[in-house]
């Protein structure tokens, strides 16, 4: 018995030692920080530490210290890992260009983070060329695809249309979407049109830098390629065809132009409403027409197509909305369309439509600071485009000069950004992951991730596009309502918020995963698809979700194997890279 007790005591001492001196984990952006941006990392311990904890930023090549600091007060993320304690390292004042590592000493041992760069426009300089490469490889331009898409059959009809071009939607899906969740009404993501508009916006945000890096022509050509596909998707009746669906069939001749319901049920409701890709397609075509560059179509044809489609939707939009009613997504997508047409033509009819939609958005602002999605109090939340209302209003203000209209839009932008900061910082949140408000079982709830039980009936996935959209909104909206000389031209709290979202995508997350493929140290596994498509460098995976099995999206999860459902976390999707591109371009344009 004494021997047993001694053994038990010894085991307890060993366990205590392991608990106290377990190796810390350093979570840091694995790619780059811009010189003029906030710079933070997170350090995890298995138990709360005693005394002052210091860290160093060391030169990755020489190991010489370049910065020393003190870790912040401990935090616990009760919903995720209640047995872990987190400390933040802030080295924002380190602006000297170089390659660095974050170093800490614990239990007599030294620990280093993965290497990262600090430099002027470092994120954009490192990633944009690869993002262009990613889209180029996502082109649906193999002989099989081109042959089938040249005579694409409409669902339920023998009629065929030319739907050549466009980008495959995801690393596991060679379908092509303007938007793929139209039936869910409040969740419709912007897909191919958003990509094109993002490319045009990025090219216009930093033309000198893109030229200096010898990638402007490549980006412009990719944007024109997207515009050409949207022109082919514009029907003779002036609506856009929504989806070319593969049915996940390797036979290219199985593809059809369709409308889509849950579980891959297809219909002939393939006409795009404003919220189903039509608004962003009009915006992209109107905007790129100002370049006076021709792709397969001329710049004049781009503008003519945009104007015809806009006129058609003014008469028919609610006919195409699945529930017959407009909501916030119609408002911000129509605002984008009207704004770009107004900027391009200076026609008062587009001015009036833009002002109407901006007024609608302002009218959807709640006293809490989140938008209402409908007229019945449903909070607006979105897994990929959460920042788009603010981006649309900010773009509108590039043209709007009337003081009264500007005051209203600026107030709405400020309320939305203030809310984003408030809800994100309401709980212990060392990673600064953007939180959100949503309706769940009739009650409004705040959470990190979208509810898995939602209007789609099945769709929940990592939200890296949402993070990129919110980072973009923080920068473009912040420059209007919270301008500053440093931190990408915005005040520090918003800059920290924006930085946290991109850093999460680039590796500073609890799974130490860099979701930008081909960068950092821990990428997701490769995913292949039909016709030689699949994961590509510069593509961005879905990312982290709430816990699998938690209907309200609470908890946290990331899986690389899940019986065929691992796509929720690992699959690359074109909106992720589009929003990341927008964010890093506007940041570099400061």
DSSP 1-14: -HHHHHHHHHHHHH
Note whether residue 173 is domain-resident.
yes
Q: Are 71 and 151 part of one and the same domain? A: no
Q: How confident is the model at residue 163 (pLDDT cuts 50, 70, 90)?
A: very high
pLDDT tens by residue, 55-95: 999 999 999 999 999 999 999 999 999 999 999 999 999 99
Cα(385)–Cα(468) distance, rounded to whole angstroms?
A: 9
**Mean pLDDT within 443-462:** 97
CATH number (domain holding residue 51): 2.60.40.10
Q: Look up residue 70 and give its DSSP letter.
A: E
Out of 99, 119, 139, a domain closes at 119
Q: Are 436 and 470 part of one and the same domain? A: yes
17 vs 48 pLDDT, higher one: 48
Note whether residue 14 is domain-resident.
no
| Cα dihedral sign, 264-267-268-274 | negative
Q: Are 76 and 162 part of one and the same domain? A: no
Q: How confident is the model at residue 19 (pLDDT cuts 50, 70, 90)?
A: very low
**Torsion-angle region of residue 578: left (phi > 0), alpha (psi -120 to 50) or beta?**
alpha
Note whether residue 90 is domain-resident.
yes
Note the pTM of the prediction, 2 decimals.
0.96
**Mean pLDDT within 307-327:** 98
pLDDT tens by residue, 372-381: 999 999 999 9
pLDDT of residue 356 exceeding 90, the answer is yes
**Mean pLDDT within 392-412:** 98
- List of E strands, 287-339: none
Out of 86, 119, 152, a domain closes at 119
pLDDT of residue 177 exceeding 50, the answer is yes
Q: Identify the domain containing residue 198 by its residue range.
A: 122-588
Residue 107 has a pLDDT of 87
Q: Which residues contact 140 (CB under 8 A, 6 or more apart)?
A: 146, 149, 164, 165, 166, 167, 168, 174, 176, 244, 531
pLDDT of residue 18 exceeding 60, the answer is no
Q: Are 107 and 150 part of one and the same domain? A: no
Bridge pairing between strands 116-119 and 32-34: parallel
Note whether residue 226 is domain-resident.
yes
**Torsion-angle region of residue 490: left (phi > 0), alpha (psi -120 to 50) or beta?**
beta
CATH number (domain holding residue 456): 1.50.10.10
Angle at 412 between CA 408 and CA 418, to 5 degrees: 145
Note whether residue 268 is domain-resident.
yes
Instruction: Express as a percent the part of the chain with pLDDT over 70.
Output: 96
Average pLDDT, the chain: 95
Note whether residue 4 is domain-resident.
no
pLDDT of residue 21 exceeding 70, the answer is no
Using only C-alpha atoms, the chain has a radius of gyration, in whole angstroms, of: 24
Among 253, 570, 221, 579, CA closest to 387? 579
Note whether residue 67 is domain-resident.
yes
Q: Is-contact 217 272, C-beta < 8 A?
A: no
Q: Are 233 and 353 part of one and the same domain? A: yes
Q: Look up residue 151 and give its DSSP letter.
A: T
152 vs 14 pLDDT, higher one: 152
Residue 14 has a pLDDT of 38
Residue 22 has a pLDDT of 67
Cα(91)–Cα(44) distance, rounded to whole angstroms?
A: 17
Q: Are 186 and 199 part of one and the same domain? A: yes
Residue 590 has a pLDDT of 75
**Torsion-angle region of residue 166: left (phi > 0), alpha (psi -120 to 50) or beta?**
left
Q: Are 210 and 348 part of one and the same domain? A: yes
For 16-25, 164-173, 216-225, 462-471, which range has the lowest pLDDT when averaged over its residues? 16-25
Note whether residue 399 is domain-resident.
yes
Domain count, the chain: 2
Residue 10 has a pLDDT of 43
Q: Are 269 and 351 part of one and the same domain? A: yes
Q: Are 326 and 402 part of one and the same domain? A: yes
Q: Which residues contact 351 (CB under 8 A, 6 or more apart)?
A: 338, 342, 399
Q: Are 219 and 293 part of one and the same domain? A: yes
Which pair of structure tokens corresponds to residue 341? Answer: 């047409």
Out of 63, 86, 119, a domain closes at 119
pLDDT of residue 20 exceeding 60, the answer is no
Cα(242)–Cα(237) distance, rounded to whole angstroms?
A: 14
Q: Are 111 and 138 part of one and the same domain? A: no
Residue 12 has a pLDDT of 44
Q: Are 127 and 113 part of one and the same domain? A: no
């Amino acid at each position: 018995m004494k021997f047993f007790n001694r053994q038990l005591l010894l085991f307890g001492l060993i366990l205590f030692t392991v608990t106290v001196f377990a190796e810390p984990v350093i979570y840091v952006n694995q790619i780059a920080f811009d010189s003029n941006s906030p710079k933070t990392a997170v350090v995890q311990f298995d138990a709360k530490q005693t005394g002052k904890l210091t860290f160093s930023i060391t030169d990755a090549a020489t190991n010489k210290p370049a910065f020393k600091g003190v870790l912040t007060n401990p935090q616990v993320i009760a919903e995720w890992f209640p047995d872990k304690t987190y400390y933040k390292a802030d080295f924002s004042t380190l602006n000297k260009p170089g390659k660095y590592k974050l170093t800490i000493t614990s239990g007599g041992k030294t620990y280093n983070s993965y290497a990262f760069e600090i430099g002027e426009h470092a994120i954009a300089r490192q990633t944009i060329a690869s993002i262009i490469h990613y889209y180029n490889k996502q082109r649906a331009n193999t002989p099989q695809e081109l042959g089938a898409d040249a005579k694409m059959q409409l669902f339920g009809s023998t009629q065929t249309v030319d739907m050549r071009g466009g980008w495959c939607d995801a690393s596991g899906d060679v379908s092509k979407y303007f938007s793929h969740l139209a039936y869910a009404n409040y969740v419709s993501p912007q897909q191919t049109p958003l990509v094109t508009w993002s490319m045009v916006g990025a090219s216009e945000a930093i033309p000198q830098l893109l030229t200096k890096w010898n990638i402007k022509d490549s980006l412009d050509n990719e944007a024109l390629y997207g515009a050409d596909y949207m022109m082919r998707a514009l029907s003779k009746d002036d609506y856009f065809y929504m989806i070319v669906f593969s049915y996940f069939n390797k036979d290219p001749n199985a593809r059809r132009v369709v409308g889509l319901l849950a579980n891959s049920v297809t219909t002939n409701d393939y006409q795009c409403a404003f919220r189903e890709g039509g608004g962003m397609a009009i915006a992209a075509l109107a905007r790129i027409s100002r370049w006076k560059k021709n792709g397969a179509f001329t710049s004049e044809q781009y503008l003519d197509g945009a104007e015809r489609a806009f006129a058609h939707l003014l008469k028919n939009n609610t006919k195409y909305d699945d529930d017959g009613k407009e909501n916030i997504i119609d408002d911000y997508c129509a605002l984008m369309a009207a704004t770009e047409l107004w900027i391009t033509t200076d026609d008062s009819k587009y001015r009036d439509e833009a002002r109407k939609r901006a007024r609608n958005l302002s009218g959807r602002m709640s006293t809490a600071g989140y938008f209402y999605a409908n007229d019945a109090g449903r909070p607006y939340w979105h897994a990929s485009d959460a920042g788009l209302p603010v981006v649309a209003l900010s773009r509108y203000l590039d043209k709007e000069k009337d003081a009264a209209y500007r005051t209203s839009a600026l107030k709405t932008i400020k309320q939305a950004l203030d809310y984003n900061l408030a809800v994100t910082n309401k709980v212990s949140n060392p990673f600064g992951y953007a939180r959100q408000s949503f309706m769940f079982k009739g009650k409004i709830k705040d959470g990190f991730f979208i509810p898995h039980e939602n209007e789609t009936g099945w769709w929940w996935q990592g939200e890296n596009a949402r993070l990129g959209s919110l980072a973009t909104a923080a920068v473009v909206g912040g420059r209007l309502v919270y301008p500053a000389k440093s931190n990408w031209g915005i005040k520090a709290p918003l800059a920290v918020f924006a930085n946290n979202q991109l850093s999460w995508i680039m590796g500073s997350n609890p799974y130490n995963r860099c979701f930008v493929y081909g960068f950092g140290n821990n990428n997701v596994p490769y995913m292949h698809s039909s016709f030689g498509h699949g994961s590509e460098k510069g593509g961005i995976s879905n990312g982290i979700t709430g816990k699998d099995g938690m209907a309200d999206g609470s908890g946290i999860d990331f899986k690389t194997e899940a019986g065929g459902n691992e796509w929720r976390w690992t699959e690359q999707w074109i909106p992720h890279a589009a929003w990341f591109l927008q964010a890093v371009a506007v940041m570099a344009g400061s």
